[in-house]
Structure 1
Amino acid sequence: MNRDKEKLINWIETHQEEMIQFLQEIVQIPSDNPDGDCVPIAHFIYEKLRQFGFEQVSFLEVDQEQVKAAGMKSLVNLVSSSVFGDGTGKTIVLNAHGDVVPPGLGWTFNPYGGELSAGKMYGRGAAVSKSDIAAYTFALLALKKLKMKEELNGQVDLAFTFDEETGGELGPKWLLDKNYISPDLAIAAGFTHSIVNAHNGCLHLEIKITGKSAHAALPNTGADAIAAGANILQALYKYRKTLEFKKSETLGIDYPTLVVGLISGGINTNVVPDSCTIRLDRRLIPEEAVHEVEEEIKKIVHHAAHSIDGIKAEVNRILYAESFGPVPTDSQLINVLSANWRSVLKRKEEPRVNGVPLYADARHFYAKGIPTVMFGAGPRTLEEANGHRADENIRITDLISAAKITACTLYDFLTLKK
């Protein structure tokens, strides 16, 4: 490790308490999505970035009609650009999201407390992905505050967005489409102990079943939509079992999944139900094509629905998130990150490079042809950190290590010779 990188690591160690406090402060600001009222936390981060010395910070408001259509109350995006040298080198974006899923039940810590216990910080968003906001901010701050022996040249953009939990269409995708960011490389929120080079796609479908109401004393005069729904559910669960045999070749991604997450229907206890709605989540491995999967499910639904006279079934797409990757394991971005990972953590082995079964904002950069990986502050798996579960947490050592590795990686790309 050269002297410049040692300076970066020492600066982060010296300022780690400020980074921890910053993370605590943003964990303590509720930013649940839904409801998706994330302007308060965006305002706070904007002011903190200005206090930290970031001169160019843009507070970008999204059209309110689009925000409402996405099921959110309010939305802005934050972009802070830091130019080094004449700015003609690589442009790297660091993207993390500040919206979180609601806390839910079962917490032993205050979900908005940011409490420290046994080397960990607890709170909703502590791992996913407010910790990445803190790690990326201080990684870049280290580069801005120190005079390097090597001349740095290029640009680093912090892109902090607040709609990942609803798909990222008005966050990273919006920023890319409107050219607020135009990176050569992208690092998106991830984990400290692995480099993620792929993730699943996701398809949400709504099945609307229409029948005919009738008095419960004369059920044969109606067409029972819930009974048809039960047939459809049986067919879907039978189909789900077959997915286990469709294996992905990407390490870390096993097979496609299907979950029925919502069911509603009926009028009253004494009425044959004339409507039933089913919503399902179908995860796609990178090898699958969405149109083939969608047609497959439509055929299953229509075949099952037609087993009852007078029933109509309509299948509509609610959400589609493309899969990400797999990015080649020998890509420049992965090689540089891996080298700094080994150096900072003092490891001889290579970091694990793998896919994950969830979906995230990394796909928006990958879809634009931008070399992208997921790397940030977090454990080996989402389960370790209780991500999206009670008592979500992050190890403080992982937060600090992520900032160091990210800073050294930025340094390498900003010192690349033209």
Structure 2
Amino acid sequence: MNEDKAKIVQWIQDHEEELIAFLKKLVKTPSDNPAGDCLPIARVLEKQLSELGFENVSLLEVDEESVKENGMISMANVLAPTVFGEGTNVVLNAHGDVVPPGLGWSVDPYGGEIVDGKMYGRGVAVSKSDIAAYTYAVLALKQVSAQLSGRVDLAFTFDEETGGEIGPKRLIDQGYIKPDHAIVAGFTYSAVNAHNGCLHFEIKTTGKSAHAALPHTGTDAIEATTKILNVLYEYRKKLADIKSSIPGIDFPTLNVGLISGGINTNVVPDECTIRVDRRLIPEEDFVAAEAEFRGLVQQAVSNIPGIKIEIRKILHAKSFGPTPENTPLVQTLAVNWKSIVKEDGELPVHGVPLYTDARHFFAAGIPTIMFGVGPKVLEEANGHRADENIRLSDLQAATKIIACTLYDLLVEK
């Protein structure tokens, strides 16, 4: 570690209490999505960044129509550029919207309580801690600004839970950010270079209602849907035979997550609706996968007279990656990870089966990696579950690794 990096690391250690306080304020600000009323936390973050000395902090409110189309109440993106001169542009993107807390908490989900070296709270791991780490990494970088060229954009968004269309994708499409590299929210003990894509479908089956005493005079939509379900569950078994070559990603999956239908117990149901999640490995062609899915559903009820079906695609999240491990971004991150974490072996680089905002950067042709604050596996942090938490030691380590990585990417050669 050279003198500049040592100075960066020492600054982060000296400002640990401020870093923790910054994160705690974010955790104490509710930002559940749904319902998606996320303008308040965006304003809190804008104020925090301005008070920390960031210049030209922008609160980019999204128009009401776009917000409603994406199933939210209010939303804004927060952008804070730090310019060191001409050169490489790196964007750090993390999201501040969170899933609702749910039941089973042993602490206040909005308290930011610290117990045995861990901070607890909804969103502390996914991904408010990344917002804090990225912010303080850039602040640390300013301590050696004379040695740097290029710029770092903090791009904090609040619609990841609804797809990221009016968050990172909007920032890219409208030219607010033009990065050469992107680092997106992740965890501390591995770098994620790929993830699955996803298709969500709503299937509506329509028949004809009738009195339950005369069921033969109606057309049972739930019975027809049962045939569709049987076909889909058989299809799910076959998907397990399609293997991904990317470490960390196994095979495509299918899940029926919602079902509703019927009028009353004594009425033949005339409608039934299900929603299906179909995960795509990066090697799959989504057009072919969608066509196969639609064909299976239609074939399942093709011999039932009087039944109509409507298949509506309600989400297509593209796959991400893989970002090659020999890119400067991944290589630089790996060197600094080994220096800070000091674990045996190299930084693990792999894919994950979920989908994230990283896909928007990758789709725009930007070398992208997911890295941030958290344990080796999501379950350890209770992400999206009760008692979500992060180790404060991981918050420190991730901030140092990100700061040193930015230094190496921006230092004048």
Q: 2:27 matched to 1:27?
A: yes
Instruction: For 1:10, give the aligned amino acid.
Output: Q
1:228 aligned partner:
224
Question: Is this contact kept in 2: 1:205–1:315, CA < 8 A?
Answer: yes
- Counterparts of residues 13-412 of structure 1 (less than 5 Å): 13-84=13-84, 87-144=85-142, 146-147=143-144, 151-412=147-408
Over 3 Å counting, the alpha-carbon distance change for 1:124 and 1:194 in structure 2 is same
Q: 2:3 matched to 1:3?
A: yes
Instruction: For 1:234, give the aligned amino acid.
Output: N
How many angstroms apart in 1 are the aligned matches of 2:112 and 2:183?
Answer: 25
SS class of match (2:378):
coil
How many angstroms apart in 1 are the aligned matches of 2:318 and 2:279?
Answer: 10
Question: Is this contact kept in 2: 1:112–1:123, CA < 8 A?
Answer: yes
TM-score scaled by length of structure 2: 0.99
SS class of match (1:317):
strand
How many angstroms apart in 1 are the aligned matches of 2:403 and 2:176?
Answer: 23
Question: Is this contact kept in 1: 2:147–2:412, CA < 8 A?
Answer: no
Instruction: For 1:96, give the aligned amino acid.
Output: A
For the aligned residues, what is the CA RMSD? 0.9
SS class of match (2:67):
helix
Give deviations 1:243-290, integer Å, cap 9, x for gaps. 111110000001111111110111121111111111011110001111
Q: Which runs of 5+ in 1 are unaligned?
A: none
Question: Is this contact kept in 2: 1:324–1:363, CA < 8 A?
Answer: yes
1:39 is displaced (CA, Å) by 0.8
How many angstroms apart in 2 are the aligned matches of 1:60 and 1:405?
Answer: 29
Give deviations 1:9-59, integer Å, cap 9, x for gaps. 000000011111111111111101000001111111000000000011000
Instruction: For 1:373, give the aligned amino acid.
Output: I
SS class of match (2:300):
helix
Question: Is this contact kept in 2: 1:96–1:132, CA < 8 A?
Answer: yes
1:347 is displaced (CA, Å) by 3.4
Give deviations 1:338-378, integer Å, cap 9, x for gaps. 00001111235211000011100010000010111000111
Instruction: For 1:8, give the aligned amino acid.
Output: I
How many angstroms apart in 2 are the aligned matches of 1:220 and 1:189?
Answer: 56
How many angstroms apart in 1 are the aligned matches of 2:127 and 2:316?
Answer: 22
Question: Is this contact kept in 2: 1:97–1:129, CA < 8 A?
Answer: yes
Question: Is this contact kept in 1: 2:93–2:155, CA < 8 A?
Answer: yes
Instruction: For 1:279, give the aligned amino acid.
Output: R
How many angstroms apart in 1 are the aligned matches of 2:29 and 2:47?
Answer: 14
SS class of match (2:381):
coil
SS class of match (1:384):
helix
SS class of match (1:364):
helix
> What number of residue pairs does the alignment pair up?
413
1:119 is displaced (CA, Å) by 1.1
1:147 is displaced (CA, Å) by 3.7
How many angstroms apart in 1 are the aligned matches of 2:114 and 2:207?
Answer: 55
Instruction: For 2:282, give the aligned amino acid.
Output: P
SS class of match (2:125):
coil
Tell me the percent identity: 64
Instruction: For 1:296, give the aligned amino acid.
Output: E
1:225 is displaced (CA, Å) by 0.4
How many angstroms apart in 1 are the aligned matches of 2:97 and 2:63?
Answer: 18
Give deviations 1:180-238, integer Å, cap 9, x for gaps. 11111100000100010000001100101111111111111111001111111111111
Instruction: For 2:388, give the aligned amino acid.
Output: E
How many angstroms apart in 2 are the aligned matches of 1:59 and 1:235?
Answer: 48
Instruction: For 2:200, give the aligned amino acid.
Output: H
SS class of match (1:277):
strand
How many angstroms apart in 2 are the aligned matches of 1:309 and 1:387?
Answer: 46
How many angstroms apart in 2 are the aligned matches of 1:106 and 1:229?
Answer: 34
How many angstroms apart in 1 are the aligned matches of 2:371 and 2:75?
Answer: 25
TM-score scaled by length of structure 1: 0.97
How many angstroms apart in 1 are the aligned matches of 2:412 and 2:395?
Answer: 26
Instruction: For 1:25, give the aligned amino acid.
Output: K
Question: Is this contact kept in 2: 1:306–1:312, CA < 8 A?
Answer: no
Give deviations 1:323-352, integer Å, cap 9, x for gaps. 000111111110000000011112352110
Moved over 3 A (4+): none
How many angstroms apart in 1 are the aligned matches of 2:154 and 2:185?
Answer: 12
1:307 is displaced (CA, Å) by 3.6
Q: Which runs of 5+ in 2 are unaligned?
A: none
Give deviations 1:375-408, integer Å, cap 9, x for gaps. 0111111111111111111011111100000000
